[in-house]
Structure 1
Amino acid sequence: MTYMILILGFAMLIKGADYFVEGSSNIAKMLKLSPILIGLTLVAFGTSSPEAAVSIRAAMKGSNGIALGNAIGSNLFNISVVVGITAIVNPLRVERETIRKEIPFTLLSTFLLLILIMDIKLQLFHKNQLTRADGLVLLSFFTIFIYYLFELAKNSREKKEEEDVVNISTGKNLLFTIGGLVGIIIGGELVVRSSTQIATDFGISETLIGLTIAAIGTSLPEMITCITAAAKKHSDIAVGNIVGSNIFNILFVLGTSACVTPIQVEEKLFVDVLFMMGYTTILLIFSKTQHKITRAEGILLFLSYVLYIVYSIGLRS
Structure 2
Amino acid sequence: MTLAIIAIIIGFAGLIWSADRFVSGAAGIARNLGMAPIMIGLTIVALGTSAPEIVVAIEASLLNHSQLAVGNAIGSNLANIGLVLGITALVSPIPISSSIIVRELPLLLFATMGALLFLSDNYLGVIDGIVFLLTLSGILYYLINNKSHQPNVEEEADVDLIPDIPMVKGWLLFFLGLTALIISARILVWGAKDIALAMGVSDLVVGLTVVAVGTSLPELAATVASAIKGHHDIALGNIIGSNLFNLLAVMAMPALINPSALEPEVFSRDYLSMAAITLFLASILYFHRLRAGAGKSIDDLTAPRKMGRIGRIEGALLLLGYVAYYYILFP
Pairwise TM-score range, normalised by the shorter structure: 0.7 to 0.9
- Write out per-residue CA displacement over residues 153-203 of structure 1, whole angstroms, 9 at most, x where no aligned residue: 422456979xx6878534445544443333222211111111111111221
* Cα 1:248–1:261 shift into 2, 3 Å: same
Do 2:277 and 2:321's aligned partners in 1 also have CA atoms closer than 8 Å? no
Alpha-carbon distance between aligned partners in 2 of 1:226 and 1:70, rounded to the nearest angstrom: 20
* Displacement after TM superposition at 1:23 (Å): 5.4
* Cα 1:85–1:22 shift into 2, 3 Å: farther
* Displacement after TM superposition at 1:211 (Å): 0.3
* Cα 1:281–1:27 shift into 2, 3 Å: farther
Which residue does 2:165 correspond to in 1?
169
Query: Are residues 1:261 and 2:261 paired?
Result: no
Which residue does 1:283 correspond to in 2?
281
- Counterpart amino acid of 1:300? L
Query: Are residues 1:152 and 2:154 paired?
Result: no
- Counterpart amino acid of 2:278? T
Do 2:53 and 2:215's aligned partners in 1 also have CA atoms closer than 8 Å? yes
Do 1:21 and 1:42's aligned partners in 2 also have CA atoms closer than 8 Å? yes
Structure 1: where are the runs of 5+ without partners?
Answer: 120-127
* Displacement after TM superposition at 1:225 (Å): 2.8
Do 1:57 and 1:192's aligned partners in 2 also have CA atoms closer than 8 Å? yes
Alpha-carbon distance between aligned partners in 2 of 1:257 and 1:3, rounded to the nearest angstrom: 24
Task: Report % sequence identity.
Answer: 38
Alpha-carbon distance between aligned partners in 1 of 2:51 and 2:77, rounded to the nearest angstrom: 13
Alpha-carbon distance between aligned partners in 1 of 2:152 and 2:107, rounded to the nearest angstrom: 25
Do 1:85 and 1:298's aligned partners in 2 also have CA atoms closer than 8 Å? yes
- Write out per-residue CA displacement over residues 116-171 of structure 1, whole angstroms, 9 at most, x where no aligned residue: 1222xxxxxxxx2111011111111111111012213422456979xx68785344
Query: Are residues 1:89 and 2:100 paired?
Result: no
Tell me the C-alpha RMSD between the 2 structures.
2.8
Do 1:68 and 1:263's aligned partners in 2 also have CA atoms closer than 8 Å? no
Alignment match of 1:233 (pick from 230, 235, 240): 230
* Cα 1:60–1:131 shift into 2, 3 Å: same
Which residue does 2:301 correspond to in 1?
none
- The 5 Å alignment of 1:111-260 reads 111-119=113-121, 128-157=122-151, 169-171=165-167, 172=169, 175-260=172-257
Which residue does 2:17 correspond to in 1?
15
Which residue does 2:316 correspond to in 1?
299
Alpha-carbon distance between aligned partners in 2 of 1:50 and 1:116, rounded to the nearest angstrom: 24
Alpha-carbon distance between aligned partners in 2 of 1:276 and 1:165, rounded to the nearest angstrom: 31
Do 1:41 and 1:244's aligned partners in 2 also have CA atoms closer than 8 Å? no
When the two structures are aligned, how many residues end up with a matched partner? 302
Structure 2: where are the runs of 5+ without partners?
Answer: 289-306
* Displacement after TM superposition at 1:250 (Å): 0.7
Structure 1 length-normalised TM: 0.85
* Cα 1:166–1:114 shift into 2, 3 Å: closer
* Cα 1:158–1:269 shift into 2, 3 Å: closer
Alignment match of 2:108 (pick from 106, 109, 119): 106
* Cα 1:268–1:79 shift into 2, 3 Å: same
- Write out per-residue CA displacement over residues 42-70 of structure 1, whole angstroms, 9 at most, x where no aligned residue: 44321211111111211111112201101
- Write out per-residue CA displacement over residues 87-125 of structure 1, whole angstroms, 9 at most, x where no aligned residue: 223221122121122112112211112211222xxxxxx
Which residue does 1:310 correspond to in 2?
327
Alpha-carbon distance between aligned partners in 2 of 1:105 and 1:167, rounded to the nearest angstrom: 28
- Counterpart amino acid of 1:244? G
- Write out per-residue CA displacement over residues 68-87 of structure 1, whole angstroms, 9 at most, x where no aligned residue: 10100000000111111222
* Cα 1:263–1:101 shift into 2, 3 Å: farther
Alpha-carbon distance between aligned partners in 2 of 1:236 and 1:174, rounded to the nearest angstrom: 32
* Cα 1:42–1:301 shift into 2, 3 Å: farther
Q: Which moved more, 1:1-10 or 1:296-305?
A: 296-305
Alpha-carbon distance between aligned partners in 2 of 1:20 and 1:297, rounded to the nearest angstrom: 35
Alpha-carbon distance between aligned partners in 2 of 1:255 and 1:117, rounded to the nearest angstrom: 12
Do 1:32 and 1:157's aligned partners in 2 also have CA atoms closer than 8 Å? no
- Counterpart amino acid of 1:260? I
Do 2:24 and 2:162's aligned partners in 1 also have CA atoms closer than 8 Å? no
Which residue does 1:125 correspond to in 2?
none
Task: State the secondary structure of the residue aligned to 1:94.
Answer: strand
Which residue does 2:299 correspond to in 1?
none
Task: State the secondary structure of the residue aligned to 1:62.
Answer: coil
- Write out per-residue CA displacement over residues 269-299 of structure 1, whole angstroms, 9 at most, x where no aligned residue: 1221111111111111222314421122112
